[in-house]
Amino acid sequence: MENTTTTTTLNPSHTTLLIFFFYILLCSSLFISTLAKSTIYNVVDFGAIPDGITDSTMAFLSAWNIACGSTKPVGIHVPKGHFLIGNATTFRGKCNNKAISITIHGTLVAPYDYRVIGDAGYWLTFDHVSGVAIHGGVLDGQGSSLWDCKNSNTKVNCPIGATSLAFNNSDDIVITGLKSVNSQLFHIIVIGSHNVKVHGVKLIAPGNSPNTDGIHIQFSSHVTILKPRIHTGDDCISIGPGTNNLWIEDVACGPGHGISIGSLGWYLNEPGVKNVTVRRATFSETQNGFRIKSWGRASNGFVNDIHFEHALMTHVQNPIVIDQNYCPFLNGCPSQASGIKISDVTYKDISGTSATQVAVKFDCSSRQPCKKIRLENVKLSYKNQNPRASCIHAGGTALGAVQPESCL
Ligand SMILES: *[C@@H]1O[C@H](CO)[C@@H](O)[C@H](O)[C@H]1NC(C)=O
Ligand SMILES: *[C@@H]1O[C@H](CO)[C@@H](O)[C@H](O)[C@H]1NC(C)=O
Ligand SMILES: *[C@@H]1O[C@H](CO)[C@@H](O)[C@H](O)[C@H]1NC(C)=O
């Protein structure tokens, strides 16, 4: 007892130490909270108005310019509400810091009249930035009247439209929990960029909306796409020339045109596509599952080291397809052979239902036959009939149970 009392009684030197300790704690927490406050910019403080009608473009650009000019990490906060970004807008680097985090609780809305941004090609672009993260938020591209125009008989006067979000020549990018609805053109484009993580995005447009690809990657490396939910009118994910070290996991795709490498080989000199993995994907009522597509034209490009693994197809028109004779409207390529070299492509553990009898189709180039195609544990069915596989200029191997019977 005696002992306890003496230990709980502080002697003067202990007290000084303790006070000093709390003083330090107080100072540092004050310091941290001022730091946190001073480095988060709210777009409303720059004049953005969450009424969906007032153009907030200048306010967003002002917040960006301050953030980009800062030498310390910064946050940009977009609160709840609808913010009209009424014109094609580029958030430009290079910035003085490599840590700008944009947190969006509200919705950014494109102009209702598609002609305003329809010829710009892009709505929101980040160009030459590094270390930018976007968390949450909804982008509403208001594309429906443009699709009506494109789907009508007088489509000659329709502009191409604008992609909702693009990262151009950028590095170390994170996009999490973003939702994009009704893009005029593509939902997201990543071009000339490296080390990009796209996590948990939802990309939604009607199945009959033209050219609304979910995510398009081109001239980019080390892009990782995890858990995207894509319901759109064109490719769920499309992979263009110059893509390497791409990792895609846990995809839900449909409606849409599936996951496509291509179209490749329009240009004679074109960088290839290398080391792409798609692991765990579901395709529901899509036009394609896994597709590789090249123009029937001379090209030095290639497709190499591709892994399509663990997929479930539900009523997919072309579950597995390579088409090297792509030449819509016989424009610029009639009766030419594709120069794209396709090799080392693995399809492993793919099951489900095909909506057409030819469930596996390898239509390769007479000039550059497909090499080292591997089918491993593929089980696709077609109604109550035998599904078929079709091979033209395609070589490779089949492992395990493969249905339809391999033609490699
Ligand atoms: C939209 O941006 C274009 C190109 O920067 C510019 O010419 C046009 O005046 C802008 N329109 C509006 C309404 O601000
Ligand atoms: C993207 O980068 C290319 C090449 O640097 C440039 O020509 C183009 O204007 C950029 N696009 C946008 C929207 O900033
Ligand atoms: C292929 O890409 C993945 C990332 O998607 C990377 O981890 C791996 O090292 C790459 N493989 C080669 C051989 O470069």
Atom nearest to 277 CA in ligand 3:
5
Question: How much is the pLDDT for 9?
Answer: 41
Q: Is the CB of 304 under 6 A from ligand 3?
A: no
Compute, in angstroms, the gap from residue 78 CA to the centroid of ligand 1: 23
pLDDT band per the 50, 70, 90 thresholds, residue 8: very low
* Nearest in space to 63 (alpha carbons), one of 84, 47, 85, 79: 47
- Tens of pLDDT, residue by residue over 147-160, are 999 999 875 789 99
Q: Considering every ligand atom shown, identify the ligand nearest to the alpha carbon of residue 277 and give its number.
A: 3
For 4-8, 40-44, 173-177, which range has the lowest pLDDT when averaged over its residues? 4-8
Give a yes or no: residue 358 inside a domain: yes
Question: How much is the pLDDT for 26?
Answer: 45
Beta bridge partners of 354: 316
Which of 135, 257, 310, 393 is labelled catalytic? Answer: 257
- How far apart CA 327 and CA 193 sit, in angstroms, is 29
**Computed from CA positions of residues 17, 21, 24, 27, in that sequence, does the dihedral angle turn out positive or negative?**
negative
Compute, in angstroms, the gap from residue 115 CA to the centroid of ligand 1: 12
Domain of residue 221, CATH code: 2.160.20.10
Q: Does 257 participate in catalysis according to the annotation?
A: yes
Give a yes or no: residue 178 inside a domain: yes
Give a yes or no: residue 75 inside a domain: no
Compute, in angstroms, the gap from residue 345 CA to the centroid of ligand 2: 32
Average pLDDT over residues 345-349: 98
- With a pLDDT cut of 90, the percent of the chain lying above it is 88
Average pLDDT over residues 329-344: 93
**Res. 372: pLDDT tops 80:** yes
Give a yes or no: residue 274 inside a domain: yes
**Res. 233: pLDDT tops 60:** yes
Question: How much is the pLDDT for 34?
Answer: 44
Give a yes or no: residue 63 inside a domain: no
Cis peptide before 193 (omega within 30 of 0): no
Across 155-164, 325-334, 368-377, the highest mean pLDDT is recorded for 368-377
Q: Is the CB of 219 under 6 A from ligand 3?
A: no
- What does pTM read for this prediction? 0.90
Quick one: tokens of 314?
A: 């539900």
- How far apart CA 287 and CA 150 sit, in angstroms, is 20
Total domains present in the chain? 1
Atom nearest to 57 CA in ligand 1:
14
Give a yes or no: residue 16 inside a domain: no
**Res. 38: pLDDT tops 90:** no
pLDDT band per the 50, 70, 90 thresholds, residue 13: low
Question: How much is the pLDDT for 331?
Answer: 87
**Computed from CA positions of residues 240, 233, 282, 324, in that sequence, does the dihedral angle turn out positive or negative?**
negative
R_g of the chain computed on alpha carbons: 26
Q: Say which residues have a Cβ less than 8 Å from residue 313's Cβ, sequence separation at least 6.
A: 282, 283, 289, 319, 350, 351, 352, 353, 354, 380
Average pLDDT over residues 89-101: 97
Domain with 286, as residue range(s), is 81-403
Give a yes or no: residue 141 inside a domain: yes
Give a yes or no: residue 306 inside a domain: yes
**Res. 1: pLDDT tops 60:** no
H/E segment holding residue 259: strand 259-264
Residue 41 has a CB neighbour count (10 Å cut-off) of 20
